[in-house]
Chains A and B, each alone.
Chain A
Amino acid sequence: MTSKLTADGLSAWYGPKKAIEDISLAFEEHAATAIIGPSGCGKSTLIRCLNRMHETLPKTRVEGKVLLDGEDVYEQDAVAVRRRIGMVFQKANPFPTMSVYDNVAAGLRLNGTRDRKVLDRAVKGSLVKAALWDEVKDSLGKPGVGLSGGQQQRLCIARALAVEPEVLLMDEPCSALDPIATAKIEDLIFDLKKEYTVVIVTHNMQQAARVSDSTAFLYLGRLIEVGGTRELFEHPREELTEKYITGRFG
C-alpha cells in the first residue's frame, strides 16, 4: 500500500518547549489512522504539523519533513498544502455571519469560484458526504450557528470536504458532543475513509478501536508504538502502551 502522507523525523516546539520529538509515521490512503495518548502527549501538535497549522502560532518551530505523495509539504506553498489536507477542529467553528450554504461554499467561493451551478453541486455533494444533507436541505439559508452541536460539527466537515482535499485531519472531533452525535460522526468516518485518508486524534480509546485501521500511541512527545488497531489493542508490544490501554494512567 502506498503511504499517502508520511511524517519523517518530525519535531516541533512552542517557544523553548519541545512538544513532539523525532516522529516518523505513515498514514495509509483510504484508511483511518488514530493517534492516541494522554493529555499533553503532543497529539494535537503532531496533527497540526501535518497541514502546517502549527506554525501559524507565534514563536513556534518545526523540523523534519511531512511527505504528501512523496513531496515535502514544507517545501511547498502552505496555503496550497492546506487545500489538499483539510482539518476539522475539536470545537465546531462555523463562520457565524454565514448561512449553512455559505459556510460550506466558503472555501470555494473565497478562492474564486463564482459559478452558481458549480457551488450548488459542491455544497450538496459535501453535505451528503457529511451525512447532513437530509437534515438541512430545506434550511440552507439559515445561519450556520443555529444548528445543534453535532450538526455544526458535520457542517464543518462538509465545509472541509467542499474544497476536495485528499487528506482529512480530525482533532478530537467528538469530544464536545453527546454520544448520539458522536455515533453519527463515527459512522461518517467509516464512509469517509473509503474516499479520503483520515487521521483522527482522540483521547477515547474505544473510539479509536471502533473507527481506525491503524493506531499510533504517543507519550510525552514521542511515538511509542504504531500498528494495526486490532493488534495494538489486543497485543501491544510496548509496556507503556499496555499500561495506557489498560488504564493505568490517563
Chain B
Amino acid sequence: MMGLTVLCLGVALVPLGSILYSVAVQGGSVINVDFFTQTQPAPCSPNPITTCTQGGIGQALVGTLLLLSLSCLIAIPLGILTGIYLAEYGKGPLVHGVRFFADVMTGLPSIVFGMFVYAAFLIVFPGRVFSALAGVLALALLVLPFVARTTEESLRLVPNGLREAALALGLPKYKVTGRIVLSSARDGVVTGAILAMGRVGGETAPLIMTAFGNIYMSTRLDQPIGAMSLLIFYNAASPYANWNALAWGAALILALMMLGLSIAVRILLRRRFRERRIGA
C-alpha cells in the first residue's frame, strides 16, 4: 500500500514540478529592465520580416500594486475590527452567524464578488462599471472575511490571564483590547493580513468585469486598469508569441511576489522577542 500512496504523491508532484519549471524557464527568458518599464507591445509572432518588440508589463505592475494597496487599505482595518468583535465583544447568536458566514464567504468563488460589484455598478454608476474603483471594491470584499477570521483566531490565542491583569490594573475594556490584547496577538494578525494580500495578488476572476484590464498605463480610479493576473489571462490565450512570453514573465514575477510574502510570514512566525531599550 505504501507504493500506491507514494504514487498518489507523485501524481500530485508532477504537475507542481512542471508548473514551477515552466514558469521559471519561460518566464525567466523574458525578464529584463524593459519588462518592468515598458507597456504592452504591438502583437507579433516570430516571422522572417520584422523582429518583435518584447514590450513589458509596466502598466500591469502598477495596476496590481494600486489595486492591492487600496483594497487592503479598506478591508484589512475593517476585517481586524470585525475579528476583534468576534473574539472580544460578541455574544449570542449574532456572533455565531457572523463567524459562520465569514467562513462560508471565504470559500465562495471569487468571480461572484466581481459579478456583485459589476451588477451594483450597473445600477449605481452605470458609466463607471469598468473602473479601478470597481476592482478595488471587489478585491476588498474578498479580503474582508479572511482577515476577520484570522484576526479572531489570533486574538483567541491570547491567554485570558492577560486580559484579567490589564482589567485589574483599572484599564477600560477598549484599552485592554486595543493596547494589550491586540499587541500580544500582533504577529498572528499581521500574518493574516499578509496572507490575505498574497491571496488577492493572484486573483483574476473578480477583476475581469470590474477593473477590466488596460494595455496603457493608468492610475485613475474611474478608468479601467491593468493587473498582472489579468495580463496573464488575456495574453496567454492570445495567438501572438510576444504576448505569450509576457504572460510567462508576469507569472514568474507573481510567483516571486508570493514567495516573498510567504517568507515574510515565516520570518514573523519565528521572530524572537526583540529587546526594547530603555533605562531608568
Contact = CB atoms under 8 A, between A and B. Distances in A.
A95 B280 CA distance: 19
Contacts, number: 93
Contacts of B168: 51, 53, 82, 86-87, 89, 160
A190 B166 CA distance: 26
A140 B280 contact: yes
A87 B170 CA distance: 10
Interface size class of B (residues with CB under 8 A): 20 to 34
A59 to B, nearest CB: 10
Contact of A143 (B91, B165, B275, B279): B275
Given A97-B186, A140-B278, A110 B161 contact: no
Interface in B262-280: 273, 275-280
Given A141-B278, A143-B273, A160 B169 contact: yes
Interface string A111-143: 100000000100110000000000001001111
A32 B184 CA distance: 34
B276 A89 contact: no
B274 to A, nearest CB: 9
A183 interface: no
Interface residues of A, number: 40
A110 B276 contact: no
Interface stretch (B39-47, B97-105, B171-179, B221-229): B171-179
Interface string A80-103: 111110110101011111110110
Given A91-B161, A93-B161, A96-B184, A82 B167 contact: yes
Interface of B: 91, 159, 161-162, 164-172, 175, 179-180, 183-184, 186, 273, 275-280
B278 A102 contact: yes
Nearest to B175: A110
A43 interface: no
Contacts of A159: 165, 169
A110 B280 contact: no
A111 B175 CA distance: 9
A89 B186 CA distance: 24
A159 B164 CA distance: 13
A216 interface: no
Closest 3 CB pairs of A and B: A83-B170, A82-B170, A87-B168
